[in-house]
Structure 1
């Protein structure tokens, strides 16, 4: 596979590594290791199989399952045939999965046991291929072309679709984000800044259907390193693998960092091999960043951005320990601005919605031009930006301080309340282990804040006691109207708190 005009593809990079370092490990899970020679040949067989089945460049397949070497090789092999990959969450409902399959117009669904109960019934067009021999469908080995099979080469333009990432965010409505080969190439190329190379090992415990994972997965392979995959995250097993394989790079979401750092045995593991640790996808508290910096060797870099692309901010926390309350500065070549409710740029020091422009931007939402237009903002010169829905402001040094999602902002009695401010104050109480504040309807104020709190182990404080403690020191407009215990905050697979679920739960119990 090649690009026009001159853009080296990930598929070609992997082939080059297979020729230069054929016996070096490329992919590893708990059951199997694939060398670069093995991976390159398996990619050929996957690509040839898809071509045999009549799939043309630009058509899509879907993969729904847990992380594995087979899943990863299938993804990469499809790219070699110019086939678009739609990686889907096995945590989806059957209805949501059917909707995404229809939207992507796929004829092939590859799945494992984690998704076996989601298979749509009565779909005569859809062929299911079982990755593990447990899920329904034709076995992967039986579907795969013979060992000697080689695909026909394809030529792709940079704007050709690479994958469709379905990101419902916290709205619950799946939207297919189409990312191009050019966008992914930009992600790979920036890997030179982070020490990727043939001797690095990247440990990934986030799912391959998430862009969070892919922005680290692809550069690792593009630069000839090894990816160690975890099917499911477990904090202690993560540390065991990190020590065993002398891991150098990782991507984790904040709640994973939190669980790892909370392990009493954390200090017993040798993590001296780490060079770069990355974080994205959800708010990363300053005190947690400080703890990681203090006790975990290697650099710590936070990325702020969206699957849709647009602008990114980068915080090299190890270089700016005084800026841990921020998400960093705009990445090189990225244009980050703030706009008000009317779409006008705000003045210096003012808060506004974050919009961004970069070389890596989505083509649009798949088959949803109206949603695409809603996500775009154009400046006076016609430059295209992607709206994030986040509210923030720049400090005097150009570091971005985030407040909250615009849709999560509470408007009570005409005043804007940012839940993150309330959450930060509540965490100061020793009985509060985790917390989320949401706005619920109020006849008197329009909306009013309510807190859901995970109680710290060993504390016997009552909800009324914590709420009284908080309200005594809060401003009048930021006082809570209710506080409720919850065993665990509802989160997406990449750690985002699903505040929609909390609002719905409160409404159902009201």
Structure 2
């Protein structure tokens, strides 16, 4: 992964902090772990995880292995999640949400549970995996689903997805971050839910440019300002968030 120094912080939330070297190892382990479970390049992995470092680790690791990652809303019901799992033909679910556990069970899909304390936990799963590099030519990508307001949720794949190896595409997104004036020498604060497409895209581009990512567990305008006052170089907000900030005393 990109980074000024392997020992510099790359990714953090209120509970975890990863250096660039650790992020490299853990994303490799995610990729090797999916292969060990029998998944192959092109298979789909659903990620139903709240705002935490593990979301980014899994998202990047799955794509580095050449697979398709589908982030889903953590607020969806089991039946809503089950519809998408069936449509995407998901082969694995990574989650910290009970609704996703139930939906996966309905389809007979294996689950890696981020919050579990047993061997099926994410940390337990990663501990037994190879942490070495994955093949550099793997062409993984991200597929998002619409909210389903006009019917059933629909999978959306960008036309350029999978056209080049993921590692190359990720590094190239640093140029897009530079064009969008996202700095690479300060913290990018993730204040939105990670499953939302635009904030995630901006955040990953900033990460590719070398900016460490700090993840808020949930949106809180007062907490957001505390982060900003402590030092934040960039973020992505929607109009509702600005209204919340302006309403503060």
* Fold shared by both chains (TM-score > 0.5): yes
| Secondary structure of 1:252's aligned partner | coil
Q: Distance in 2 between matches of 1:152 and 1:194?
A: 30
TM-superposed CA distance for 1:164, in Å, is 1.1
Q: Distance in 2 between matches of 1:121 and 1:61?
A: 11
| Secondary structure of 2:6's aligned partner | coil
Relative distance call for 1:122 and 1:55 in structure 2 (3 A) is: closer
- Segments ≥4 residues shifted beyond 4 Å: 181-188
Show CA shifts across 1:39-90 (max 9, x none). 0111111111111112111111011021111111111111111111000001
Q: Distance in 2 between matches of 1:209 and 1:218?
A: 12
Q: Distance in 1 between matches of 2:163 and 2:177?
A: 15
Q: CA RMSD in A?
A: 2.4
Q: Distance in 1 between matches of 2:73 and 2:105?
A: 21
Relative distance call for 1:121 and 1:44 in structure 2 (3 A) is: closer
TM-superposed CA distance for 1:36, in Å, is 0.6
Confirm whether residue 90 of structure 1 aligns to residue 74 of structure 2: yes
- Tell me the equivalent position of 1:248: 233
| Secondary structure of 2:70's aligned partner | strand
Q: 1:212 aligns with which of 198, 208, 215?
A: 198
- Tell me the equivalent position of 1:146: 128
Q: Larger Cα Rg: Structure 1 or Structure 2?
A: 1
Name the one with the larger strand percent: 1
- Tell me the equivalent position of 1:33: 17
| Secondary structure of 1:34's aligned partner | strand
Question: Equivalences for 1:286-297 in 2 at 5 Å?
Answer: none
- Structure possessing the higher relative contact order (Cα contacts under 8 Å, 6 or more residues apart): 2
Q: Across the two proteins, how many residue pairs are aligned to each other?
A: 241
Question: Equivalences for 1:10-21 in 2 at 5 Å?
Answer: 14=1, 16-17=2-3, 20-21=4-5
TM-score, with structure 2 as normaliser: 0.87
Q: Distance in 1 between matches of 2:104 and 2:204?
A: 34
- Tell me the equivalent position of 2:55: 71
Show CA shifts across 1:86-120 (max 9, x none). 000011121110010111111211111xx213422
Q: 1:43 aligns with which of 27, 51, 58?
A: 27
| Secondary structure of 2:236's aligned partner | strand
Q: Distance in 1 between matches of 2:91 and 2:129?
A: 24
- Tell me the equivalent position of 1:168: 147
Confirm whether residue 191 of structure 1 aligns to residue 174 of structure 2: no
Q: Distance in 1 between matches of 2:128 and 2:119?
A: 19
Show CA shifts across 1:16-49 (max 9, x none). 43xx511111111111111111101111111111
Show CA shifts across 1:114-153 (max 9, x none). x21342275463011111227x992112222537532541
| Secondary structure of 1:155's aligned partner | coil
Confirm whether residue 108 of structure 1 aligns to residue 92 of structure 2: yes
Q: Distance in 2 between matches of 1:70 and 1:196?
A: 23
Segments of 5+ residues of structure 2 without an aligned counterpart are: none
- Tell me the equivalent position of 1:126: 109
Q: 2:220 aligns with which of 231, 234, 243?
A: 234
TM-score, with structure 1 as normaliser: 0.44
Is the CA contact 1:48–1:145 (under 8 Å) kept in the aligned structure 2?
Answer: no
Q: Distance in 1 between matches of 2:232 and 2:73?
A: 26
Is the CA contact 2:185–2:211 (under 8 Å) kept in the aligned structure 1?
Answer: yes
